[in-house]
Amino acid sequence: MIDFDREGPVWVATINRPDKANSLTHEMLVALAEFMEDAQAARAVILTGTGKVFSAGADLDEARAGLAVSDIWERLSGAIAALPGLSICALNGTLAGGAMGMALACDLRICVPGGKFFYPVMKLGFLPQPSDPARMATLIGPARSKLILMGGQKITAQEALTFGLVDRIVPAEELMQSARDIVADTVAATPEIATGIKAMCAPPETPAEMP
């Protein structure tokens, strides 16, 4: 249900469960986390999906059985955030629920024009995964993060671009080539320079509160 390509300097993970809106089971999330943990050797990583939905989030049956509050989501997003190379989430369609975390952890997000974004976690009676609100607020600010997480609003691709939730909108037929074009310079650069630039672009640490 997930296709992995580890050949060459650009590694690609493709969620391939279109009949279930690419909803994620625990087994799929573990496989993704292991792939991202192994991808320390990759120069760039692209995460995408098949069909018209990137991912609807957790598989409903498994969510009811506890997947919605599993720490596997944090393991996956943490592994993505720790990648030394450039990571791109190439969103082939709508992004919903817990799947938002893996996209937020990527360095860049590109999407097709018809993509929509929503994270109805509060409506379902759960807190977001711990890292997701902070990563979202870093990208789009606290107010717009509350619009999505507390207001339950669906965001269109154009709104997501305006907000800064995605970095570029591209035609569906050009999605993967666009992702590969973006990572091309990173792959061609000296690894130490590429990872050095990524480190320099990291947001500053929030100072600890004074006692």
Candidates 84, 91, 16; CA nearest to 46 is 91
What's the predicted TM-score (pTM) here?
A: 0.93
Q: How many Cβ atoms sit within 10 Å of the Cβ of residue 76?
A: 27
In whole angstroms, give the CA distance from residue 61 to residue 103: 23
Per the DSSP assignment, residues forming a β-bridge with 96 are 118
Q: What string of pLDDT tens digits covers the 211 residues of the chain?
A: 999 999 999 999 999 999 999 999 999 999 999 999 999 889 999 999 999 999 999 998 998 899 988 999 999 999 999 999 999 999 999 999 999 999 999 999 999 999 999 998 888 888 899 999 999 999 999 999 999 999 999 999 999 999 999 999 999 999 999 999 999 999 999 999 999 999 999 877 644 443 4
In whole angstroms, give the CA distance from residue 196 to residue 210: 31
